[in-house]
Amino acid sequence: MNFQKIASFTIVIVVMVVGIYYYSHLKKEGNREGITITEQNDLNKKFNVIIKQQAELMAKAYLEKDFEKFSTYTYPKIIELFGSKEKYIARVKLLVSDSEVPTSSKISIGEPSKIINTGNELQTTIPQTLEIPVSGGFLVSISTLITLSDDNGKNWYFIDAGGGDTILEKLFTQFPNLSKDLIIPPKEKPVFYKK
């Protein structure tokens, strides 16, 4: 009887020692890279830099009218709506060449909001500020980009959600995969600045 108690006590001690060793080993592994276990699970700390980099590359491609490259950052489901990448690029070129559509001279990218893991995609939003030259000065317009990745954060795609509530409703109808938890501020009116 005493032997059974001693054996049970020994097993408990061994399990505790193994548990402590395993936990401390994991902490050392995490700290070796300067990253704690909590931080490794923080999606924003992991992906914010790459999201901003890719958003800035997309903006640069747009400003330089490199629509082939610009299309690589467009959410693939949007391109599908146009029938092909070529048709999508042709439509973007047409919009940019339209004299009544104001074009930006500068695009600045803000910080991503909280990243949501939907299971199939990582999703977040990111603000973009556009400067649009007009007679006597320029307009500053802030809009929101819905930002998505279907390959665990390697590549990010963008949807401009800055067209107001009507556009937003259409986006959520056309793309039911979009999380309702995405942070999309109301569309603000552009602000005019004199030169």
Token pair of 66, please?
């490199």
Which percentage of the chain shows pLDDT scores above 70? Answer: 75
Arithmetic mean of pLDDT over the chain: 80
Q: How far apart are CA 5 and CA 11, in angstroms?
A: 10
pLDDT grade for 96, boundaries at 50, 70 and 90: confident
Q: Please state the φ and ψ torsions of residue 139, each to the nearest 5 degrees.
A: -100, 140
Closest CA to 80 of 174, 152, 9: 174
- Among 95-104, 157-166, 170-179, the range with the most confident prediction by mean pLDDT is 170-179
pLDDT grade for 100, boundaries at 50, 70 and 90: low
26-44 burial, b if ≥16 CB within 10 A, otherwise e? eeeeeeeeeeeeeeeeeee
Token pair of 21, please?
């060793």
Which percentage of the chain shows pLDDT scores above 90? Answer: 57
Residues 6 or more apart whose CB falls under 8 angstroms from that of 70 comprise: 58, 61, 62, 92
Q: How far apart are CA 130 and CA 143, in angstroms?
A: 8
Find the distance separating the first CA and the last CA of the chain, reported in whole Å: 93
Closest CA to 175 of 154, 143, 146, 153: 146
pLDDT grade for 130, boundaries at 50, 70 and 90: very high
Note the pTM of the prediction, 2 decimals: 0.74
Mean pLDDT, range 101-130, rounded to an integer: 90
Q: Please state the φ and ψ torsions of residue 44, each to the nearest 5 degrees.
A: -65, -40
**Beta-strand pair 191-194/157-160:** unpaired
pLDDT tens sequence across 58-78: 999 999 999 999 999 999 999
pLDDT of amino acid 30: 39
